[in-house]
Chains A and B, each alone.
Chain A
């Protein structure tokens, strides 16, 4: 969308586009908009909308049957007002409107939006520079993670205090729902947001994303979505778990609207970000960067974007249908009037399982990306890593019903879905093979990022093995809906996903902030949370084996011990995460200044200066060799050749 139509950005369809004539004046209202005006706009429009709706809706006194709906309409209006007002206030609609009337943004304005000469202020604006967007994503994600982590601590506190009800059941239920969805959203963007935006364009040797303004749009839509989710906590909350199965969701308090609108907005944001990333990766790789020369992390991000792109609309439409059930009284999911609860489950899990891989694959790719750097040897069997990712993507669309083994929906479908689900362990196994192959005989440079990678592999192994139990229908008949499932997906999403994100942050920190992440404090944080993590979730496995259902506030006293241990572990995780956070904060403020390539990496993003200049590279790089060209030629190669020659000679002599 940017108007500085350098050849790179506008040759998307393979056509050279000349610099267009400039229409419209530079400057204008756009330059004065920032996060503050966004907030003002959002709050103002929300207030107006809510107030207007409250007046227009027949009041409860005059129409008793209508009364329960009034908060629904008002809250809906407030939320919609917030989103539109916020996006208006931050200036998201300026570009499209000017496009329609044909007076495009001038070159000077485009540079202004790119954050030129803005200093720190650019982080508060609708900035199109991918590096600024990456940092913004990082901050927002960390805030959301903190919020969801806070809820996690409260949940574990409640479950640890088995002798009393610390919170009322409604509040507890809304906590688990909000924790779940906030974590899922945060984890979905945790890698693709900050690292995908900041690193990928540099890694492939591009100046920016393909559509810089869409980049900003996706970020600010995400920012607009988050407050809605949090606000729902105060409106009765999401009392239905993160999956908000219908029709329970249509019974919930009005807070459910917050969830539904969050998902709808978030899905738009994800779709935009995905298209952007995919287009960038497809069209803007540096000269000479063929597919076999593209780093594995780029593959991971691409795969994740692709899955996000096709999976999220299902979720979005599930929520739109749910919203329409609630607000307009339609009956998609209301069995009383011919709706089907299985429809929701299908739509939901059509998202639900690909989404897990949306989270896992980037972190796995980070792990694989980091290992060559710290082991100083090439990635083992690059083709296999790609094959693994491709396999996961290909299969991910065909496994959704393994969440529905026990729903009674088409029992006969259990057989094929069991097959496809267990098949997916083969491509995942490829990734593990690549990891251990890269470890094989390598000299380990034991720095913080590599340690996080070890944690990822360890957790992923446990998560993967327990996943096989759950993919198997007979075992799932016992484990479905129990704490075992909770422990399993925490091992995958948190153990592999979040620790992978930590590895990525630790690794790319010097490039993103210009400073080194404090090794000692970071390591303490990492290992504390790792140990706490094992304690928490392994004892949660035990609770699941004993037969504790998930999402319960109270449980039989036979589960007490495993829950107490689990709670203690959770506190340890919390402390570890806070220490890691402290490492980030202190290093960001006053860490050691990093050189441009502190890890001695060979990939493109480290070849440019730190801090990264506005357009990344003074001269666009040209790639001439495969990635991960580390290590010395294997000394045994020659030896083996000698053996071969020797043998050949012997064979020949015979």
Chain B
């Protein structure tokens, strides 16, 4: 009898350890809080139809400094390991409404250079295939002047619509005027508008090599809260 008691205790203890570690790591996962794009009105789609319109504001900073935003992530280890790396702000977990027009306004404070694949210096997946860069409409930028990209791509679900969008964020010149924190006074501003369809979950990441280690694609490039995140389209 005692043996079976011990067995039961072992199983329960083992289960408890698994559950405990699981819950702990699940809570501790490096997910920044979700940034929701709320519908703020309507806008005319290219088809002429009025659609709900939502807006998002995102900034890209070259590195964190005490005066300005910090990357929005709960992981202390990453904050140490990735100190001084570029990141998106205020969050990398994005949520946008379905069946809407969504406009994202970027401010880009970072420098840049040559991108590996010129495909990502073109604008893909937006309304008209254009983006507004410092006020003028463009469909692509020079591959050697890319700062970062915002590339949303497929999630492995076949029962949600295919979605692909990629926007290059041009770089700031190295000699641009900077403020005390080391950020350009006039960052590159980019805004893009795109149409969402059915609800679905997607991910996005930056395709410009701006991290560390091999091919500058490690570190922040592979960490949520820095240069990669989630992109959820939800029914309003």
On A, residues with C-beta under 8 Å from B are 60, 64, 67-68, 71, 150, 153-154, 157, 165-171, 234-236, 239, 247, 250-254, 326, 334, 336, 518, 521, 524, 552, 554-558, 574-575, 578-579, 581-583, 585-586
Which chain B positions have C-beta within 8 A of A68?
212-213, 219
Q: Tell me, in angstroms, the Cα distance from A138 to B9 when the chains sit together.
A: 22
**B104-157: which residues lie under 8 A (CB-CB) from chain A?**
155-157
Which chain B positions have C-beta within 8 A of A326?
213
Q: Is the CB of A154 within 8 A of B18?
A: yes
**B198-222: which residues lie under 8 A (CB-CB) from chain A?**
212-215, 217-219, 222
Q: Is the CB of B3 within 8 A of A554?
A: no
Q: Is the CB of A521 within 8 A of B156?
A: no
Q: Is the CB of A251 within 8 A of B83?
A: no
> Is B174 on the interface with A (CB-CB < 8 A)?
no
Among the 9-residue stretches B21-29, B35-43, B186-194, the one with 4 or more Cβ atoms under 8 Å from chain A is: B21-29
Q: Is the CB of B215 within 8 A of A171?
A: no
Q: Tell me, in angstroms, the Cα distance from A649 to B148 when the chains sit together.
A: 96
Which chain A positions have C-beta within 8 A of B31?
168
> Is B68 on the interface with A (CB-CB < 8 A)?
no
Which chain B positions have C-beta within 8 A of A64?
84
Q: Which residue of B lies closest to A250 (CB)?
A: B214
- Supposing A521-B4, A582-B7 touch, asked if A167 and B14 sit within 8 A by C-beta, the answer is no
A374 to chain B, nearest CB (A): 24
Q: Is the CB of B222 within 8 A of A71?
A: no
Q: Is the CB of A247 within 8 A of B215?
A: yes
Q: Which residue of A lies closest to B213 (CB)?
A: A251
Which chain A positions have C-beta within 8 A of B18?
150, 153-154, 157, 574
> Is B159 on the interface with A (CB-CB < 8 A)?
yes
Q: Is the CB of B30 within 8 A of A579?
A: no
- Supposing A171-B25, A171-B30, A235-B81 touch, asked if A251 and B10 sit within 8 A by C-beta, the answer is no
- Supposing A579-B11, A586-B6 touch, asked if A166 and B215 sit within 8 A by C-beta, the answer is no
B137 to chain A, nearest CB (A): 35
Q: Is the CB of B26 within 8 A of A166?
A: yes
Q: Is the interface of B mostly helix, strand, loop or mixed?
A: helix
Interface residues on B, range: 35 or more
Q: Is the CB of B218 within 8 A of A251?
A: yes
B21 to chain A, nearest CB (A): 6
Tell me how many residue pairs across A and B have CB atoms closer than 8 Å.
111
Which chain B positions have C-beta within 8 A of A555?
156
Q: Is the CB of B214 within 8 A of A251?
A: yes
Point out the residue from B7, B21, B156, B224 that lies within 8 Å of A579, measured CB to CB: B7
Q: Tell me, in angstroms, the Cα distance from A150 to B19 when the chains sit together.
A: 9
Q: Tell me, in angstroms, the Cα distance from A12 to B163 when the chains sit together.
A: 70
Q: Tell me, in angstroms, the Cα distance from A355 to B201 when the chains sit together.
A: 40
15 contacts between A and B (CB under 8 A): A67-B84, A68-B213, A150-B18, A165-B29, A168-B29, A234-B77, A239-B222, A254-B81, A524-B7, A554-B155, A555-B156, A557-B159, A578-B10, A582-B9, A585-B6
- Supposing A71-B80, A150-B21 touch, asked if A251 and B222 sit within 8 A by C-beta, the answer is yes
B28 to chain A, nearest CB (A): 9
Which chain B positions have C-beta within 8 A of A575?
11, 14-15
> Is B158 on the interface with A (CB-CB < 8 A)?
yes
A334 to chain B, nearest CB (A): 6
Point out the residue from A157, A239, A253, A556 that lies within 8 Å of B158, measured CB to CB: A556
Q: Is the CB of B84 within 8 A of A60?
A: yes
- Supposing A574-B18, A586-B3 touch, asked if A236 and B81 sit within 8 A by C-beta, the answer is yes
Q: Which residue of B lies closest to A589 (CB)?
A: B6
Which chain B positions have C-beta within 8 A of A254?
81
Q: Tell me, in angstroms, the Cα distance from A490 to B80 when the chains sit together.
A: 37
Which chain B positions have C-beta within 8 A of A583?
7
Q: Is the CB of B156 within 8 A of A250?
A: no
A593 to chain B, nearest CB (A): 15
Q: Is the CB of A582 within 8 A of B11?
A: yes
Which chain B positions have C-beta within 8 A of A67?
83-84
Q: Is the CB of A170 within 8 A of B81?
A: no
Q: Is the CB of A154 within 8 A of B159?
A: no
Q: Tell me, in angstroms, the Cα distance from A168 to B29 when the chains sit together.
A: 6
Which chain B positions have C-beta within 8 A of A556?
156-158
Q: Tell me, in angstroms, the Cα distance from A404 to B2 when the chains sit together.
A: 53
Besides A521-B4, A574-B18, 6 other A-B contacts (C-beta < 8 A): A170-B222, A250-B214, A518-B3, A524-B7, A558-B158, A579-B11
Which chain A positions have C-beta within 8 A of B217?
251
Point out the residue from A71, A171, A558 that lies within 8 Å of B29, measured CB to CB: A171
Q: Is the CB of B214 within 8 A of A582?
A: no
Which chain A positions have C-beta within 8 A of B236?
none
Point out the residue from B15, B21, B223 that lies within 8 Å of A154, measured CB to CB: B21
Which chain A positions have C-beta within 8 A of B218?
251-253
A526 to chain B, nearest CB (A): 13
Q: Tell me, in angstroms, the Cα distance from A596 to B26 when the chains sit together.
A: 50
> Is B185 on the interface with A (CB-CB < 8 A)?
no
Point out the residue from A150, A253, A554 that lies within 8 Å of B219, measured CB to CB: A253
Which chain A positions have C-beta within 8 A of B7?
521, 524, 579, 582-583, 586
Which chain A positions have C-beta within 8 A of B80?
71
Which chain B positions have C-beta within 8 A of A253?
81, 218-219
- Supposing A250-B214, A554-B156, A557-B158 touch, asked if A60 and B17 sit within 8 A by C-beta, the answer is no
Q: Tell me, in angstroms, the Cα distance from A236 to B158 when the chains sit together.
A: 31
Q: Which residue of A lies closest to B218 (CB)?
A: A251
